[in-house]
Structure 1
Amino acid sequence: MYSGGMSMNTSERLIEATRELLWERGYVGTSPKAVQQAAGAGQGSMYHHFAGKPDLALAAIRRTAEEMGAVAEAVLGGEGTAYSRIEAYLLRERDVLRGCPVGRLTMDPEVVAEPALRAPIDEVIGRLRIRLAEVVQQGLDRGELSGSLDADETAATVLATVQGGYVLARATGSRAPFDSAVRGLLALLAPRDAD
Structure 2
Amino acid sequence: MDASARERLIEGTRELLWDRGYLGTSPTAILRRSGVGQGSMYHHFQGKPDLVLAAEQRSAEIMKEQSEAVLKGPGTALERIAGYLLLDREVLRGCAVGRLAGDPEIIEREELRQPVRDALDQVRVLLAGVIEQAQRDGELAAELRPSDLAATLSAVLQGGYVLARAEQSCEPFDRAVQGALGLLRAHSTDPESIPAG
- TM-score, shorter chain, exceeding 0.5: yes
Cα distance, 1:148 vs. partner?
2.8
Moved more, 141-150 or 23-32: 141-150
Amino acid at match of 2:109: E
- The runs of at least 4 aligned residues of structure 1 exceeding 4 Å deviation read none
* Structure 1 partner of 2:29: 34
Q: TM-score, normalised by structure 1?
A: 0.93
Q: What residue is the counterpart of 2:90 in the other structure?
A: 95
Q: Name whichever of 60-69 and 140-149 sits farther off.
A: 140-149
**Residue pair 2:138, 2:189 contacting (<8 A) in 1 also:** no
Counterpart check, 1:176 vs 2:148: no
Q: 1:27-71 deviations in whole A, cap 9, x for unaligned?
A: 011100110011111111111111000010000000000110111
**Shift in Å at residue 193 of structure 1?**
4.5
**Corresponding position of 2:60:** 65
Output aligned runs, 1:129-144, within 5 Å.
129-144=124-139
In the alignment, structure 1 residue 165 sits paired with structure 2 residue 153: no
- Taking the aligned partners of 2:20 and 2:190, their CA distance within structure 1 comes to 47
1:192 CA displacement: 3.9
Whichever residue aligns with residue 40 of structure 1, its letter is G
Structure-2 separation of matches of 1:193 and 1:37: 53
Partners of 2:106 and 2:190 lie apart in 1 by: 46
Relative to structure 2, which stretch is displaced further, 183-192 or 56-65?
Answer: 183-192
Query: Tell me, what secondary structure is at the counterpart of 1:121?
Result: helix
Alignment partner, residue 11 of structure 1: 6
Deviation at 1:147, TM superposition (A): 2.4
Amino acid at match of 1:141: R
- Judge conservation of contact 1:15–1:56 (CA < 8 Å) in 2: yes
Corresponding residue number in structure 1 for 2:144: 149
Q: Report what 1:186 is aligned to.
A: 181
The residue correspondences of 1:44-59 to structure 2 (distance < 5 A) are 44-59=39-54
RMSD: 1.4
Question: Partner of 1:79 in structure 2?
Answer: 74
Q: Number of residue pairs matched?
A: 189
Q: What is the TM-score with the length of structure 2 in the denominator?
A: 0.92
Moved more, 143-152 or 160-169: 143-152
List alignment gaps of at least 5 residues for structure 2.
Answer: 192-197
CA distance in 2, matches of 1:168, 1:177: 6
Q: Deviations over 1:88-118 (max 9, x none)?
A: 1011110000000101010001111111111
